[in-house]
Structure 1
Amino acid sequence: MSSGEVRVAVASAALLGESPFWHPRERALFYCDIPDRKLQRFDPASGALVHWDFDTELASCAPCVDGRLLLAMRDGLWRFDPQGGARTLLAEPPYDPAKERFNDGKCDPQGRFWVGTIYEPRDAAKATLHCWVGGKLVKRADNATVGNGLAWSPNGRTLYWSDTKAHTIYAFDFEPASGELSGRRVFARFPIKQDGQSLDSYGGRPDGAAVDAEGCYWVAMFEGQRLLRLSPSGELLREVRLPVRCATMPCFGGADLKTIYITTSREKRPAAELIAQPMAGCVLSLEVDVPGLPVNFAT
């Protein structure tokens, strides 16, 4: 696999960029800026960057077959028309919005939208994973604090979900027809940062992720300044060093799905770090040899 060079794809810095996906019909990258309450759309061919503003945090998004988008926001799950700007509520939040919000979300190969939550006090494993099916949100997993890392294996029979705070990525057996989960197990676990430990010696914690055509799991290591490629058995195959401390999530894009786009964060980072890392908050990109899996559309 070629090493590739990490470069800046979108120079406009987000506060906390998240949930990128490549829209094959539009040949554009969509992603969220959670605290700035924005949905961003970047066209690599023209360099145009446009956005939509909202009145609450937008955590994740997914394309719909009909051209609209699903938006997981603090105040619920919405269907959004980027052409006219209309937003329709599909489901109220299954949590107390004062303490919790939606986080990482995407569609499975069958077109069902899955979304985890983040328990913001971060003092208990109260985050959950829900599936939008049959016109309602159904809880499928729990016992996490910061739900992240959603992805599916190429054959659609393994679902990945992580708890960022616990530094742990889980794998589940996934039943495609019903969306039922079973066999929860640890896929990968990383050392937790110790009190007083320097960030330079800390490897980071698993944030957003994407799977490639060989079934390898690419994960952004928040505060670890790196992107990892793990084999289907959880073995570390590759480490990509990044020019920013806080990568949040990769996705595969471009016509051949061989460009990894990586959202990053600058929110609440020390001033000295931001001076040393001016790319913080920008979207990075990396060319790879093995293509990723295409985005799944909501039906």
Structure 2
Amino acid sequence: MIPNPAFAPEAWQIVTPHIAALGESPFWHPHEQMLYWVDISGRQILRANIYMGTVETWDLPSEPGCMAPAASGGLVMALRDGVYRAQTWGGPLQLLARLDYDPSHMRANDGKCDALGRFWVGTIDETRSLKNAGLYCIDARNLANTGTPLVRCMVSPTDQPATTANGLAWSPDNRTLYWADTPSHTVWAWDHEQAENTLSKRRVFASFKAKPEGWVSNALDANNGHYRGRPDGAAVDVQGNYWVAMFEGRRVCQFAPDGSLLAEFAVPLQCPTMPCFGGEDLKTLYLTSARHHRSAAELAAFPLSGSVLSMRVDVAGLPVNFFQD
């Protein structure tokens, strides 16, 4: 049964008073007991001590699309022009790899590590006019011997035309990979053979109705102009359920492994961007959001836009995967 989403906004709490322009890529660091996320438009990485209520910021030379913690310490991150490694918070950036795209109109977007510690990065065409986004895998596990990581394009525009890579996640057994193209309102699934790192049997996992012509954000419209949003970032729980933020949809959806909709949770802002599970028991759902390029009327109606929210859930999420190098 799908709960009435009208009640859900009351369940969300404000994590910190910090407001991002475009919050994305959150993860819970289990060793530090801290929440990390990026502000893409603000060119920052942030981390919060939830218990102390403090937030640290790290200014970067270009937009950080995504990041992941590294097993040997520090972070791996995808900036506009490449994938970088930082051994410590705020430390020097070491270029690991360039990806095959033009940074003048494309950049890294959604991404994370798989269970073997390979860093996956999806891209976005900022003009929104071309279906040329790709999904790359950066494997640095043999870096000490090779000197350079192995970079593979796992999903190319020829394989699956896409404009905005999002929704990357894996099933608990690591045999299914999920990936979305936000403008096409579609989440796909592939069979993933982890050891050989191959994808096969692509299928539609979830699809959503397109935005109605002439749609505008209206906080007074309980039906959101009959628009339910489009898939942005995602996370998976220990039962294999897929949780996805619906950009412009004011909600987070929870799908069963068979693609059936289990629940939807209304959010007190228009543009949620990506969930992750955290806290000691991994039963706190954290959610980033956006305010960049949103109208003054929308921001007045949804002053929490750009903040990080949290909500307690019944089922624990999967822990973050660490980068191996």
1:148 partnered with 2:166: yes
Q: Which residue of 1 aligns with 2:115?
A: 109
1:139 paired residue among 153, 162, 176:
153
- 2:180 and 2:89 map into 1 onto residues whose CA distance is 34
Tell me the alpha carbon deviations over residues 220-278 of structure 1, each in whole angstroms, 9 at most, x when there is no partner: 00000000000101111111000000000000000000000000000011101111111
Q: Is the 8 A contact 1:11 1:279 kept in 2?
A: no
| Aligned counterparts of 2:274 and 2:77: Cα–Cα separation in 1 | 17
The alpha-carbon deviation at position 84 of structure 1 amounts to 5.7
Q: Once structures 1 and 2 are overlaid, which stretch shifts more, 125-134 or 76-85?
A: 76-85
Partner in structure 2 of residue 30 of structure 1: 36
Structure 2: state its 5+ residue gaps.
Answer: 141-148, 218-223
Counterpart secondary structure, 1:10: coil
Q: Are residues 1:19 and 2:25 paired? A: yes
SS at match of 1:227: strand
| Paired residue secondary structure (2:153) | strand
More strand by proportion, 1 or 2? 1
CA shift, 1:50, in A, is 0.2
Query: Are the equivalent residues in 1 in contact too, given 2:117–2:139 (CA < 8 A)?
Result: no
Q: 1:237 is paired with a residue of what secondary structure?
A: strand
Tell me if structure 2 keeps the 8 A contact 1:220–1:227: yes
1:137 shift after superposition: 1.9
SS at match of 1:185: strand
The 8 Å contact of residues 130 and 138 in structure 1, kept in 2 or not, is answered as yes
Q: Is 2:200 the counterpart of 1:182?
A: yes
Counterpart amino acid of 2:215?
Answer: Q
User: Aligned pair 1:69/2:75, yes or no?
Assistant: yes
Q: Secondary structure at the match of 2:78?
A: strand
Q: Which residue of 2 aligns with 1:205?
A: 230
Q: Which runs of 5+ in 1 are unaligned?
A: none
Query: In the TM superposition, what is the alpha-carbon distance from 1:5 to its structure 2 partner?
Result: 0.8
TM-score by length of structure 2 reads 0.90
**Which is helix-richer, 1 or 2?**
2
User: Alpha-carbon deviations, 1:188-227, whole Å to 9, x = none?
Assistant: 0001112113541210000000000110000000000000
Task: Report the more deviating stretch, 125-134 or 163-172.
Answer: 125-134
Q: In the superposition, relative to structure 1, how do residues 58 and 84 fare at CA in structure 2: closer, same or farther (>3 Å)?
A: closer
Equivalent position amino acid for 2:306 in 1:
G
Counterpart Cα distance in 2 of 1:270 and 1:202: 17
**Contact 1:226/1:239, CA 8 A, preserved across alignment:** yes
Aligned length: 299
- Equivalent positions of 1:31-70 (< 5 A) are 31-70=37-76
Q: Within the alignment, does 1:9 sit opposite 2:34 as a pair?
A: no
What does residue 230 of structure 1 align with?
255
1:242-253 to 2 correspondence within 5 Å?
242-253=267-278
* Corresponding residue number in structure 2 for 1:120: 126
Runs of 4+ in 1 over 3 A off after TM superposition: 1-4
Superposed CA RMSD in Å reads 1.4
Q: Is the 8 A contact 1:168 1:186 kept in 2?
A: yes
TM norm structure 1? 0.97
Q: For 1:275, what is the secondary structure of its paired residue?
A: helix
- State whether structure 2 residue 189 is matched by structure 1 residue 171: yes
Higher Rg of the two aligned structures: 2
- Partner residue, 1:191: 209
Note if contact 2:58-2:90 (Cα within 8 Å) is conserved in structure 1: no
Task: Give the CA deviation at 1:75.
Answer: 1.3
Match status 1:79 vs 2:106: no
Q: SS of 1:56's equivalent? A: coil
